C-alpha cells in the first residue's frame, strides 16, 4: 500500500461560513451610543481625580521628568500641521509656462521661503498639471489624425 493511503487527516475540520452572505448573527449590531465597558470603568475611577492627577503630572514635569514633560507639551502645543504656502506663480497654460513656474518654485526655495519638502510638493502639483496638458494635446492630435484619415 502507498503511504498516503494510511495517513489520517488530523487537521481540524472546517465548518464553513457561519452566516449566509449579507446576514449577520447580530443584525442590529452594537447599539448606537454604547461605550466600551473598560472605558466606562476607567472614567468612573478617575472621576473627581482629574485635577489632582493633572497637578501631579505638572509637578513631575517641573522636577525634570521627561515623560511627564512630553505629556504636558503634547497637550499645550497642537500637533504640527501643514502650513499654508503663499507666493506668486505664473499662470500655467502650457508646458512652457510650467517651466517658468518651476523656476519660480526653485527661486522661492533658494530664498528660504519654501522648505525643500514644500517645494517638492508644489513641483509635483505642477508636474501633474503638465501631464493634463500633454494628454489633452495627444487627444487632439489623435482626433485630427483620425479625422484626416477618414474617406
Tens of pLDDT, residue by residue over 53-71, are 889 999 999 999 999 888 8
Please indicate, yes or no, if residue 141 is contained in any of the structural domains.
Answer: yes
- The enclosing H or E element of 97 equals helix 95-110
Question: Is the whole model's pTM more than 0.85, yes or no?
Answer: no
Same-domain check for residues 101 and 136: yes
Same-domain check for residues 102 and 66: no
pLDDT at 12: 65
Same-domain check for residues 143 and 103: yes
CB 19 within 8 A of CB 25: yes
pLDDT at 124: 95
- 12-39 pLDDT per residue, tens: 665 666 667 777 777 777 788 888 889 8
pLDDT at 5: 59
Same-domain check for residues 145 and 101: yes
Same-domain check for residues 132 and 101: yes
Q: Is the pLDDT of residue 72 over 70?
A: yes
Domain encompassing residue 48: 41-76
Please indicate, yes or no, if residue 55 is contained in any of the structural domains.
Answer: yes
Number of domains the chain is built from: 2
Same-domain check for residues 67 and 105: no
Spatial distance between the Cα atoms of 9 and 116, rounded to a whole number of angstroms: 61
pLDDT at 93: 87
- 107-137 pLDDT per residue, tens: 999 998 888 989 999 999 999 999 998 898 8
Spatial distance between the Cα atoms of 148 and 50, rounded to a whole number of angstroms: 79
107 C-beta neighbours (distance < 10 Å), count = 13
Please indicate, yes or no, if residue 12 is contained in any of the structural domains.
Answer: no
Spatial distance between the Cα atoms of 6 and 8, rounded to a whole number of angstroms: 6
Cell of 139: 487627444
Same-domain check for residues 70 and 99: no
Amino acid at each position: 500500500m502507498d503511504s498516503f493511503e494510511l495517513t489520517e487527516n488530523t487537521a481540524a475540520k472546517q465548518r464553513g461560513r457561519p452566516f449566509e452572505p449579507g446576514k449577520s448573527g447580530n443584525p442590529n449590531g452594537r447599539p448606537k451610543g454604547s461605550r466600551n465597558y473598560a472605558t466606562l470603568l476607567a472614567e468612573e475611577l478617575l472621576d473627581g481625580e482629574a485635577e489632582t492627577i493633572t497637578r501631579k503630572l505638572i509637578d513631575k514635569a517641573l522636577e525634570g521628568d521627561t515623560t511627564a514633560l512630553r505629556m504636558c507639551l503634547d497637550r499645550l502645543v497642537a500637533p504640527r500641521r501643514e502650513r499654508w504656502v503663499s507666493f506668486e506663480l505664473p499662470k500655467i497654460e502650457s508646458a512652457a509656462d510650467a517651466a517658468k513656474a518651476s523656476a519660480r518654485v526653485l527661486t522661492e526655495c533658494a530664498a528660504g521661503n519654501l522648505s525643500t519638502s514644500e517645494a517638492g510638493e508644489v513641483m509635483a502639483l505642477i508636474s501633474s498639471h503638465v501631464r493634463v496638458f500633454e494628454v489633452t494635446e495627444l487627444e487632439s492630435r489623435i482626433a485630427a489624425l483620425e479625422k484626416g484619415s477618414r474617406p
